[in-house]
Amino acid sequence: MKRFSSALFLALAALTTGVVLPALAQTQDASVAKGKLELAENAPDSYTVVKGDTLWGISGKFLKSPWRWPEVWKLNTDQIKNPHWIYPGQVIYLDRNGPNGPTLSLTPPGSSSTYERLSPRVYESPAGGAISTVPLQYIQTLLIEPLVTDTASPGDAGTVIGLPEDRVIVGANETIFARNLVTGQDAWTIYRPGKPIKDPLNEKLVLGYEAVLVGNARVTTPETGGKAAALQVTKVKHEISTGDRLLPTGKETAFSPVPRAAPRDLDARVASIYGGLDETGRYGVITLNAGRDKGVEPGQVVALDRFRGNATYRGADGGDKAQSIALPSERYGMVMVFRVFNRLSYALVLDSSLPVRVGDNATAP
């Protein structure tokens, strides 16, 4: 059976057994202040999980605010012994008349059983088919790729210093030479610093530089005695040239956090659209001009809204002096943060009724 991260274990264990975990309790306390939970229009009494579902998507069938799903799963005080996984074939039930509001569980309303009663049918393997919080196919590679660097020319980073036979560029299965590589690290990701990501509120402030993925390579001859290391290129996205940078290749990690609200005092902006786009929509990737410096963490949910401008008003009869009155912002989307750096973070757009644009507001939901 495959190993799952502790975050995934806690999230799914909380769903299936209902044990109140500290992270969930904190989420509940923070969310209560946001108002009463509302069911989605035409919320079903039950739903059968299918392949490709996510916890966010399933919760959106029942709730107007799908990120608040930890609050509605049926709770009990039993200890976690053999927790289920949520996987295709299982049925999720909605109890509209719970004593503390609507609840979701794996048992029909009125059932006294803690665990789902399995009917004689074929289920997919929980280890291979457990569903994630969000659709990972849109961010899987971005969880390990170098996305941003703090400077345009990091002097202490690994650097491609030469190519065979004085060539200008090389491709897959060819050799490159580099220096400043960490001893004992075999797998490396090659990138080059791209355009600066500027703060929408201060064009003179550079939050970081996009790291353009070039390819991957593996050490064949280590860097020793003042001699450069030799590496074989294993994967190419763009032609590799002298001066390109290297970072240790990251390890794949599970990303299925319990969603929680971003800090209440968050006042951020959309700094850029990943891929150099002018705008994006659902399942697009954006950067925010807030990172560790503003308390942003992976798994936090952020609301997007747009300033509607000002209205000019001259009074009922039109004879008064013109007044410029600000209109309320329009909330139109939700994103979840999945990578965080010092002064910026990357987030996946999960819901959006308008195109997301640079400069849009990003605040606590």
pLDDT in tens, 232-251: 999 998 889 999 999 888 77
254 lies in some domain: no
The pLDDT-based confidence of 258 (bands split at 50, 70, 90) is: confident
The pLDDT-based confidence of 284 (bands split at 50, 70, 90) is: very high
Average pLDDT, the chain: 80
Distant-in-sequence, close-in-space partners of 220: CB < 8 Å, separation ≥ 6:
175, 230, 231, 232
Most confident of 12-16, 70-74, 211-215: 211-215
Give the whole-angstrom CA distance, residue 134 versus residue 283.
10
216 lies in some domain: yes
35 lies in some domain: yes
Give the DSSP letter of residue 151: S
215 lies in some domain: yes
257 lies in some domain: no
Check whether residue 129 and residue 154 sit in a common domain: no
The per-residue pLDDT for 275 is 83
The per-residue pLDDT for 74 is 60
Q: What is the DSSP string of 269-335?
A: EEEEETTT-SEE-TT-EEEES-SGGGT--TTEEEEEEE---EEEE--TTS-SPPEEEEPPPEEEEEE
- End-of-domain residue from the set 219, 248, 277: 248
Task: Name beta bridge partners: 348.
Answer: 285, 336
Check whether residue 273 and residue 333 sit in a common domain: yes
In terms of Cα–Cα distance, which of 199, 181, 200 is closest to 190? Answer: 181
255 lies in some domain: no
In terms of Cα–Cα distance, which of 20, 43, 30, 13 is closest to 260? Answer: 30
Check whether residue 150 and residue 186 sit in a common domain: yes
Check whether residue 130 and residue 35 sit in a common domain: yes
The per-residue pLDDT for 318 is 67
Q: In what order do the strands lie in the sheet with 91-95?
A: 46-48, 91-95, 103-105
Q: Supply the range of the domain harboring residue 25.
A: 6-136
- Total domains in the chain come to 3
Does 118 score more than 80 pLDDT? no
Check whether residue 122 and residue 222 sit in a common domain: no
Q: What is the mean pLDDT of residues 162-176?
A: 88
- End-of-domain residue from the set 189, 220, 248: 248
The per-residue pLDDT for 205 is 93
168 lies in some domain: yes
The per-residue pLDDT for 320 is 74
Check whether residue 119 and residue 238 sit in a common domain: no
For residues 178 and 231, the answer to whether their CB atoms sit within 8 Å is: yes
Cα separation of the two ends of the chain? 37
Written as six digits, the tokens of 163 are 């190519």
The per-residue pLDDT for 111 is 67
Give the whole-angstrom CA distance, residue 163 versus residue 88.
50
Check whether residue 10 and residue 125 sit in a common domain: yes
- End-of-domain residue from the set 110, 136, 162: 136
Check whether residue 156 and residue 117 sit in a common domain: no
Check whether residue 181 and residue 207 sit in a common domain: yes
Check whether residue 317 and residue 229 sit in a common domain: no
Does 341 score more than 80 pLDDT? yes
Q: Which residue has the higher pLDDT, 304 or 17?
A: 304
pLDDT of 272-281, one tens digit each? 999 888 999 9
Check whether residue 324 and residue 238 sit in a common domain: no
69 lies in some domain: yes
Name the least confident of 15-24, 90-99, 110-119, 296-305.
15-24
| CATH classification of the domain holding 302 | 2.40.10
Does 153 score more than 80 pLDDT? no
Check whether residue 269 and residue 220 sit in a common domain: no
pLDDT of 99-111, one tens digit each? 778 888 877 887 6
The per-residue pLDDT for 156 is 64
Q: Classify the C-alpha dihedral 331-334-340-344 as positive or negative.
A: negative
